[in-house]
Every structure is written in structure tokens, then in C-alpha cells.
Structure 1
Amino acid sequence: MSTQMWIRQIHRWLSMAFTLAVIANIVAMTMQVEAVWIGFLALVPLIPLLATGLYLFALPYRGRSNA
């Protein structure tokens, strides 16, 4: 599997983890749980999600010779 395919797969799994973290945050807020760490839980997958997303965004602009 090529590097691009690995990064796409990682990006997909990170997006699912981020979605679950946001849902957990919403549930905690509706239950009025005072746990700040639940709010920061979404940042864990968000930072690598940003990095992989920027890489995938830049791929078409790199040109065909490097892809």
C-alpha cells in the first residue's frame, strides 16, 4: 500500500475518533458533567487530523511527478 493510501486510511480513522469524542462531549454537556478533560478529548485526534488533512489537500497541487 502506498504512503498516500496509508495517510487516507489514518485520516478516515481519525475522523471517526474525532466524531466519537465530540459526541461524548455533547453527551457530557447535556448530563451537566463537570469534567474538563472530556472537552479536551476531541483535541487528541483533531491535531493529527489537521496534519493529514493539510497533506491530502496539498496533494493535487504538488503535481503528477511526485504523486
Structure 2
Amino acid sequence: MNWNKWVRQIHRWLAIVFTVTVIVTFVALAQEEPLVWVSYVPLLPLFLLLFTGLYLFVLPYATKWRKARRTTPSAAES
């Protein structure tokens, strides 16, 4: 499995973890005496989702840029 597939798989699992932590947070805050610190639990998977999502977003542009660099001759070669 190459690097891009690993990042995509991690992103999918992080999305599941984030969804579960948000549900747990809603349940915990609906209690009689809510634990306020529980509202910070979804932030870790959210930040990890941000980084993996940005990587996946930029990936097509980076590959297109890399392919264009390989096919275009540089000024030194002319």
C-alpha cells in the first residue's frame, strides 16, 4: 500500500472516530451535571482530519504540477 492510500485510509478512520466523539460529547453534555471538558475531546481527531484532508486536497494539484515539470524541458536543456 503506498503513502496516498495510507493517508486516505487514516482519514476515513479519523472521520469515524470524530463522529463517535461528537456523539459522546452530545450525550455527556445532555446530563444533569455535564462535564465541560468532554467538549474538547473531538478536537484531536478534528485537527488530524484537517491535516489529512488538506493533504488529500492538495494531492491532485501536486501530481499535476510534478507531471508538468517532468514533461516541460528546462531552460538549461534548450
Length-normalised TM-score, structure 1: 0.86
| Number of equivalences | 65
Equivalent residue number for residue 61 of structure 2: 61
CA 1:33–1:20: 2 relative to 1, 3 Å: farther
- Pairwise CA RMSD: 1.4
Which is bigger in relative contact order (C-alpha 8 A, separation at least 6)? 1
Question: SS of the residue aligned with 1:34?
Answer: coil
Distance 2:60 2:32 in 1: 44
Q: Which runs of 5+ in 1 are unaligned?
A: none
1:21 deviation in Å?
0.5
1:39 deviation in Å?
0.4
Percent sequence identity over matched residues? 49
Larger Rg: 2
